Amino acid sequence: MILFPAIDLKEGQCVRLIEGRMDSATVYSHDPGSTARAWQEQGAEFIHVVDLDGAFAGQPRNRRSIAQIVQSVTVPVQVGGGIRDLATIEDLLGLGVNRVILGSAAILRPKLVAEAVEKYGQRILVGIDAKDGLVAIQGWGETVEKTALELALEVKEWGITTIVFTDIRRDGKLIGPNLAATGELAKASGLQVIASGGVSSLDDIRALKELEDSGVVGAIMGKALYSGAVRLPEALAIARGEG
């Protein structure tokens, strides 16, 4: 199982939100590149980046910081947030981003997802964010009448093999991931699922590790790392089956 330290970008700074609310931002670093490098030095094998401003604006807003992150590490970087057209995908991949995550586009521009997968294959992921079981889009500002599983099965038809699943109610709260929903989504969809939202302890990592056979292949960690509740090297040992 891969653990992804998260770098959430707001106005060029590394921040954390609660339930995706921009007014809840806590700034952790003014230098996203050095933050990414620090996670790599602690053993991270992959970095997860979200352009928060982009998610709300519908187009990327932190390109310079994303480029800085990519240039600061040798491990792969995946990026999501406000990516709504092929030109933006091409630009990010051209910067050296390894994988691009499409979120609201899966609802608003499904043809883009299919096109991107056809062109870039497994370098394209879909992020499915759910609030009370329904898919949330536009920076989590609105929900649509579609469940996470319904959307997962749709994107699977378009060629997507891996999704990032976030339970918004748990994001940034350190109350543990929604293990039941995450495991059920992986089993029912047959997709590889990266869990996101609420990871708060080493026990949470152990519990997610037990879902690996169901298709849970990774977990994104944010506030637990930044607050010091979890040390990345210890979490990585568990993810590798050593703890």
The set of catalytic residues is 8, 129
Q: From CA 210, how far away is CA 13, in angstroms rounded?
A: 34
**Largest Cα–Cα distance in the chain?**
43
Let me know if 104 is exposed, middle or buried by CB neighbors in 10 A (0-12, 13-18, 19+): buried
Specify which residues 219 forms β-bridges with.
Answer: 3, 195
- Asked if 224 contacts 200 with a C-beta cutoff of 8 angstroms, the reply is yes
Which 8-state DSSP code applies to residue 109?
-
- Asked if 141 contacts 56 with a C-beta cutoff of 8 angstroms, the reply is yes
By DSSP bridging, strand 13-18 and strand 21-29 are antiparallel
Token pair 């043809």 is found at 111
* SS3 label, residue 112: helix
